A and B are shown apart, each in its own frame.
Chain A
């Protein structure tokens, strides 16, 4: 097995007395798609910025594409692509001008630049729009242009910080198609996201809460390992009022909306679904369906947050 594409040991970043990233260790294999999940402000972006050699860690170390992020940030930056949350595009430049600008930053020669710009325009579906100002592009297109700029120099490792926030399902699929093409070519991707369906698409996931890495595994394994007690899914009328009623009932405090229904976590498997059903019916709700289900990644996410909040005694969101 070759060396990992990303290797992080006890990485820590403090801003004054605030610890944004707290003793985080993980590694990502070459060609892996690694997802970083966590609430807003958990430390995902700070982690990514340190791995890109933009922000120096307070403690710990990291290697990306075989180079030390502290000692050799230049070498790291030459081998990675980075798409930040706020688009790294010049809105008052055209599509082509943005690509040419990034090609210059990466020091691409004329022939290679021409070839790579052709690739980026094709990938982003922007062939007809080379002269359009970046500011005029719809969000999804702009995100694909930013991805094109980040990939222009064919980096070995790609960091994408919530690249699809607000994009429609069509754009997000096109985006993931590119990520999988990169994976097929051996490129490593680290992507942060709030979309649980995108989390399902990753090879492995890291959950970050309050700067700490709380879980690290494959999506299917996370769901197996984190399965505790019994989860009941309910479909009923007035789901918001029903969830509130359950939340106020002893034993059902974990109730919360999930998709069109409600998920309730219970300790006792026997009669779990029937118990939730009768509690709701007694309170005057019409229950269409109540059954035991396996956890989704969203359930895993919620249970991790609850554990972290309980152990730290503070809201982590």
Chain B
């Protein structure tokens, strides 16, 4: 290890990135401990990708500092890049090369060769279960396999920190599950992982989450803490006609938001005990209510509520 024990693997202070007329990241403070899986969530355009690119030393910050494994990302970008693996949002491999060729090409970029590379190469193929596809052109891999290969390529030089930018977009749930078992397995063996995701079931798997909004860290904590912070009471309402019920619920006292969910409404209310009042409001508007039941708010609901409360400019 290259830094004193206890120092965070990733640390940002007042990190800022401005492009011509927009501030993409605006005074971000962040600390990720060694071996932690830290999830970056937030609306489109919140600054997730820009943050990750700065931590990779690809974008120079406009202001503030970030250190990865003790190295300043602006002053020592090369030192940082030698020690991190990066899986970008856009697929980063060569479709006209095979699985093997892509891994070996990536190794050459890192000046790797010989016995050590051969061992590493085989280990990654078995870890990602891509061994039997090693001679296949990347263009002919399924979406899930491509993502596993992108992960393997990011791991070829044995990095200590892994940065992933929405790595599983458009991948089916079973392949995503396998991908995450690999990711968590790496972290359980000491790898530090920072991952941006738009999937809330993936957010639940992180040790800690940071909710990014308009370039700032709105809050951070364990998934449980984030859900509690939203302080949501959710009711599931069956009524007919549904859209008439929705309109009435939106006008009812103590209601934060309403959405249609299949053949029901999800109604977020200020407090428990809002059900009788809600039923009255719907019936008055001519919607027949067949049931009102409490529902368990999920991470998706919490995210929606926290961003909504902050006001969404988009």
CB under 8 Å from chain B, chain A span 300-317: 301-302, 305, 317
- A138-B44, A180-B260 known; A259-B172 Cβ under 8 A: no
With both beta carbons as reference points, the residue of chain A lying nearest to B168 in the complex is identified as A194
Assembly CA distance A201 to B242 (angstroms): 14
Partner of B205 from the list A85, A256, A259 (CB cut-off 8 Å) is: A259
Report the stretch among A7-15, A92-100, A170-178, A276-284 that lies at the interface.
Answer: A170-178
Q: Give every chain B residue within 8 A of A302 (Cβ-Cβ).
A: 173-174, 177
- A184-B243, A201-B261 known; A169-B200 Cβ under 8 A: yes
B307 at the interface (CB under 8 A from A): yes
Please determine whether B177 and A168 come into contact, CB atoms closer than 8 angstroms: no
Assembly CA distance A170 to B303 (angstroms): 8
- A40-B143, A138-B44 known; A200-B262 Cβ under 8 A: yes
B181 at the interface (CB under 8 A from A): yes
Report the stretch among A76-84, A147-155, A235-243 that lies at the interface.
Answer: A235-243
A165 at the interface (CB under 8 A from B): yes
Assembly CA distance A126 to B71 (angstroms): 42
Please determine whether A194 and B171 come into contact, CB atoms closer than 8 angstroms: yes
- A40-B143, A240-B188 known; A139-B263 Cβ under 8 A: no
CB under 8 Å from chain A, chain B span 211-256: 223, 242-243
> Between A and B, how many residue pairs show CB distances below 8 Å?
131
Q: Give every chain B residue within 8 A of A317 (Cβ-Cβ).
A: 142, 144-145, 172, 174-175
- A141-B314, A169-B303 known; A39-B200 Cβ under 8 A: no
Assembly CA distance A140 to B176 (angstroms): 21
B259 at the interface (CB under 8 A from A): yes
A298 at the interface (CB under 8 A from B): yes
Count residues of B near A (Cβ-Cβ below 8 Å).
49
A203 at the interface (CB under 8 A from B): yes
Partner of B300 from the list A184, A197, A258 (CB cut-off 8 Å) is: A197
Proximity bits, A51-66, B CB within 8 Å = 1, else 0: 0000000000000000
Q: Give every chain A residue within 8 A of B243 (Cβ-Cβ).
A: 180-181, 184
CB under 8 Å from chain A, chain B span 143-177: 143-145, 166, 169-177
- A166-B169, A176-B260, A240-B185 known; A260-B223 Cβ under 8 A: yes
Assembly CA distance A73 to B135 (angstroms): 41
Q: Give every chain A residue within 8 A of B303 (Cβ-Cβ).
A: 169
Proximity bits, A156-191, B CB within 8 Å = 1, else 0: 000000100111111101001100110010000000
Q: Give every chain B residue within 8 A of A241 (Cβ-Cβ).
A: 185, 188
Instruction: Report the contact-size class of chain A (Cβ under 8 Å from the partner).
Output: 35 or more
Partner of A257 from the list B184, B308, B312 (CB cut-off 8 Å) is: B184
Please determine whether A173 and B44 come into contact, CB atoms closer than 8 angstroms: no
Q: Give every chain A residue within 8 A of B142 (Cβ-Cβ).
A: 39-41, 317
Partner of B188 from the list A141, A165, A181, A238 (CB cut-off 8 Å) is: A238
B94 at the interface (CB under 8 A from A): no
Known: A171-B43, A257-B177. 12 other contacts (CB 8 A): A39-B142, A41-B142, A165-B170, A166-B170, A168-B43, A200-B261, A260-B205, A302-B173, A302-B177, A305-B174, A317-B142, A317-B175
16 contacts between A and B (CB under 8 A): A168-B46, A170-B43, A170-B314, A171-B43, A177-B260, A194-B170, A195-B199, A196-B173, A197-B200, A239-B205, A240-B183, A257-B177, A257-B184, A259-B205, A301-B172, A317-B144
Interface residues of B (CB under 8 A from A): 42-46, 142-145, 166, 169-177, 180-185, 187-188, 198-201, 204-205, 223, 242-243, 259-263, 298, 300, 303-304, 307-308, 312, 314
Which 7 residue pairs spanning A and B have beta carbons closest together?
A240-B184, A40-B143, A240-B185, A166-B169, A138-B44, A180-B260, A140-B44
